[in-house]
Amino acid sequence: MLRAFRVMWLFLLVAPVALAQPAGEETPSPTPAPAPIDPSVVQKSSISGEEMLNQAREYRGQINAITMQIQVQADQAKSDKDVIRLNCLLDKLTQVKVNGNIMDQALQALQERVSTHDEGGQLHEYTRITIINQKAQVLRAEADACVGAETNYVGPTKVVVESPAGLTATIDQPAPAAPPVTIVERPPVVSPFQ
């Protein structure tokens, strides 16, 4: 019995390998390596360095506004003594402030790249700034979710009920009659054993 068990395990270990490599056929050649990347290729931007700076400054202003908005929400949560909402908002506020510091560093680096006319460096720093702005926008939405405010709120809901023609609609209609209740009796026990 033990020997049959060992033979079965050996067969299970060797069979997949034998089936994966058919006899008599050559193994396929490996895929060719990708072409090397040429580091001398310079990316071109569609906007000028000054436009990048202006846009980056606008993004920085947006981050300042987001920081103030979350700070106000955190102050409100603190005055409401809502610890869960406060912790959530303080976490988002900290992340926005960190992104603001990174934005300041990237903005300073962008200014240096613009002054030296380094187009590749300008595009890199502008891309960093754009990504930081997107992260801040996401953090603002998450902070609104902490508070429970929906971002697509347009106003109070108004319900209008329309009745089909010929049906009189009254506000105080009686409830429909309850269905009749039938009581089913349990059949007697037929087995002498209980």
> Judging by beta carbons within 10 Å of its beta carbon (0-12, 13-18, 19+), is residue 43 exposed, middle or buried?
exposed
What are 121-175's pLDDT values in tens digits?
889 999 999 999 999 999 999 999 888 865 555 667 787 777 777 766 666 667 7
| Cα–Cα distance for residue pair 140/69, rounded to 1 Å | 8
pTM score of the predicted model:
0.55
Residue ranges of domains in the chain: 49-147
| Cα–Cα distance for residue pair 92/70, rounded to 1 Å | 8
What are 174-183's pLDDT values in tens digits?
777 888 888 8
| Cα–Cα distance for residue pair 99/111, rounded to 1 Å | 18
